């Protein structure tokens, strides 16, 4: 059985860098194996790689679009930025319909996009960061530039392919 596949939304370099810096500052270093990311699917079965690659190529054949950073979310033991865009919702729904027979319950019940900048900390530490970030939060739009495909390796992810919009 091959490693599960992860599908992410790729953000423009400036936004990606900002989220990466926040994650580096606030995510426990011993658990931070990844750059900041917007996960669209957590565990697509790896044996469907050819179909997934073809579908992502077709899906990415579109103009880039902006996503709105709409707010912060307290995760209990972490903090995330919520993202929203009608194009993203439609794109993800189309892929979910196509891959429905293979999706895990988590992937089938996905509700919204987010970027986690802190996780696996004490609740009071998460609440302090949430309060700090919320004090200066202002909604903004950031460019979505493509889709990323990765293999999940039990912690780190191995890049498979990028699909630019």
Please report the pLDDT score of residue 13 as a whole number: 97
Please report the pLDDT score of residue 154 as a whole number: 86
Within its chain, how far is the Cα of 68 from the centroid? Answer: 14
DSSP 10-67: EE-HHHHHHHHHHHHHHS-GGG--S---EEEEEEE-GGGHHHHHHHHHHHT-S--EEE
CATH of the domain at 146: 3.90.1140.10
**For the chain (length 165 residues), average pLDDT per consecutive 10?**
94 98 94 94 97 98 97 97 98 97 95 95 97 97 98 92 98
Within its chain, how far is the Cα of 53 from the centroid? Answer: 18
- Residue 19 makes CB contacts below 8 A (sequence gap 6+) with 11, 36, 81, 115, 117
Strands (E), 28-154: 38-44, 65-74, 79-84, 113-118, 140-152
Strands (E), 45-156: 65-74, 79-84, 113-118, 140-152
Domain that holds residue 50: 5-164
Please report the pLDDT score of residue 46 as a whole number: 97
Would you say 117 and 22 are in contact if contact means Cβ atoms under 8 Å apart? yes
User: What token pair was written down for 34?
Assistant: 């990844």
Please report the pLDDT score of residue 156 as a whole number: 86
Please report the pLDDT score of residue 155 as a whole number: 82
As for how many domains the chain has, the answer is: 1
């Amino acid at each position: 059985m091959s490693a599960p596949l992860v599908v992410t939304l790729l953000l423009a370099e400036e936004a990606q860098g900002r989220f990466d810096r926040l994650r580096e500052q606030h995510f426990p270093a011993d658990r931070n194996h990844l750059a900041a990311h917007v996960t669209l699917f957590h565990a697509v079965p790896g044996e469907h790689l050819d179909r997934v690659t073809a579908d992502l190529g077709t899906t990415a054949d579109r103009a880039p679009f902006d996503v709105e950073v709409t707010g912060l979310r307290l995760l209990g033991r972490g903090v995330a930025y919520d993202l929203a865009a009608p194009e993203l919702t439609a794109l993800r729904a189309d892929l979910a319909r196509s891959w429905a027979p293979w999706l895990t319950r988590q992937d089938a019940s996905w509700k919204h996009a987010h970027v986690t900048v802190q996780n696996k900390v004490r609740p009071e530490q998460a609440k302090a960061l949430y309060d700090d970030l919320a004090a200066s939060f202002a909604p903004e739009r950031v460019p979505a530039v493509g889709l990323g495909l990765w293999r999940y390796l039990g912690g780190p992810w191995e890049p498979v392919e990028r699909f630019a919009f």
